[in-house]
Amino acid sequence: MTVLYSLALFLAIVVSAPWWLFRMVAAGKYREGLSERLGIIPERISSAPGQPVIWVHAVSVGEIVAAGRLIEELSARLPGWRIMVSTTTRTGQKIARERFGAERVFYFPLDFAFAVRAWLRALRPRMLVLLETEFWPRVLIECRRASIPVAVVNARISDRSWPRYRRLRVIWRRLLNRFALVLAQSPLDAERLTAIGAANVRVGGNLKFGIRVAKPAAVTDALREHLAPGAKVVVCGSTLSGEEEYLLDALPRDVITILAPRHPERFSAVEKLLAGHNEKYVLRSKWMASPAPISAGSVFLLDSIGELASVYSLADVAFIGGGIFMLGGHNPLEPAQFGVPIVMGPHYENFRAIVDALVAANAIAVAEPAEIGPAIQRLLSDPHLAGEMGQRARQVFESHAGATETAVESLLAILHAHTGDRA
């Protein structure tokens, strides 16, 4: 099975090579970190002789943010250890390096034996911690051969992925039956993970309930001083292709709209869209050099990474992207921590447990596309309704805290069981 998998992966890369090469040349998207993905260890990645290592893998920005407190708590509880962090995407890499230091962050290797083994030899990790469902067969096999325990935190299987996992459960069972620990986000996720053969599955809660903005981003403080007094602010976060155009037509014209596309490579395309709509818009990247007042009717394009969570604190209403079309939705907890009322579209499969908790508390407005504009307008025109919904969202956020502490204690217990090391 391992040979067939490696052959299939190799053939898939060969067949898709023209597309990958085009993307590298056109956008530079996959060029960065290619050598690391191929198992070439950069000079900046070093460790002191005998210094124990935990390897944490988080795909992109969302997972890095979710794992932030976990990594910080592990570092505090394990002085003298190195927590090394890998990502798959360029944006995730940027945020991880800013937060943890470039010497601790690298690109996750391609799932070939030579690349995986090179990183295992370099890091010699005492444990591998995966975020969500990053189940790469060769990584799991090589960790098993090297007697490295593998734990999964914040594990989930989305509605869209579930049929595919279920069809291949006979194969998955052979790969997942030796996990040291799987902490599922919800009972449904735990049930699904157990059904496909994952071992040692428990419900651990969602790390994203523990994400807190420690201090305002620089742009947040600057905006707070320059937004027109009395103007209503709608923050539209993590929007995807097609959603910005829809929102520009649906939102009231007398508000300040802060627009934050999900993917940085789309910033220029969204700017062109704003210009084509004859919108009065401001680019964060240019505005911060010389902040000026922002009037009602303006669109502020947040063309930056890592600032959105803090910017939600300025909102009278927050719209969460990814749910207008069938794209799975994004995390509504970032505005919830500030008591901001939330509106999102009907397609939130990737965050079902979180959204269901908010819906059950009447703490979010889930609206069909045609009703998104009216839903936002109702909240803007009724401060009492908006305030109560926002407070309920904050209460849901607070009531689900504790997943990070559960994960830290569970991971330390695994380390002690496998290595005898104790925090």
266-297 pLDDT, tens digit per residue, is 999 999 999 998 899 999 999 999 999 999 99
pLDDT of residue 32: 79
The model carries a pTM of 0.83
Query: Is 30 a residue whose pLDDT tops 70?
Result: no
Task: Say if domain 19-205+402-419 classifies as CATH 3.40.50.11720.
Answer: yes
Its sign, for the CA torsion 51, 49, 129, 240, is positive
pLDDT of residue 272: 96
249-262 average pLDDT score:
96
pLDDT of residue 413: 96
Give residues with Cβ within 8 angstroms of 1, minimum separation 6. Answer: 171, 174
Amino acid (one-letter) located at 307: E
Closest to 137 (Cα-Cα) out of 5, 296, 291, 242: 5
Percentage, residues of the chain above pLDDT 70: 91
pLDDT of residue 28: 59
344-353 pLDDT, tens digit per residue, is 999 998 888 8
Query: Is 1 a residue whose pLDDT tops 80?
Result: no
pLDDT of residue 422: 58
Query: Is 5 a residue whose pLDDT tops 90?
Result: no
Count of Cβ atoms closer than 10 Å to residue 40 Cβ: 13
Closest to 181 (Cα-Cα) out of 207, 209, 156, 204: 204
Fold of 218-399: Rossmann fold (3.40.50)
**pLDDT top residue among 306 and 321:** 321
3-state secondary structure of 175: helix
Mean pLDDT of the chain: 91
Is residue 51 packed enough to be buried (19+ CB in 10 Å), middle (13-18) or exposed (0-12)? exposed
Residue 173 per-residue DSSP state: H
Q: What does the block give as tokens for 276?
A: 């084509």
Query: Is 11 a residue whose pLDDT tops 80?
Result: no
pLDDT of residue 8: 65
Which regions of the chain carry the CATH code 3.40.50.2000? 218-399
pLDDT of residue 158: 87
Query: Is 163 a residue whose pLDDT tops 70?
Result: yes
C-alpha–C-alpha distance, residues 115 and 113, integer Å: 6
Which regions of the chain carry the CATH code 3.40.50.11720? 19-205+402-419
**pLDDT top residue among 418 and 308:** 308
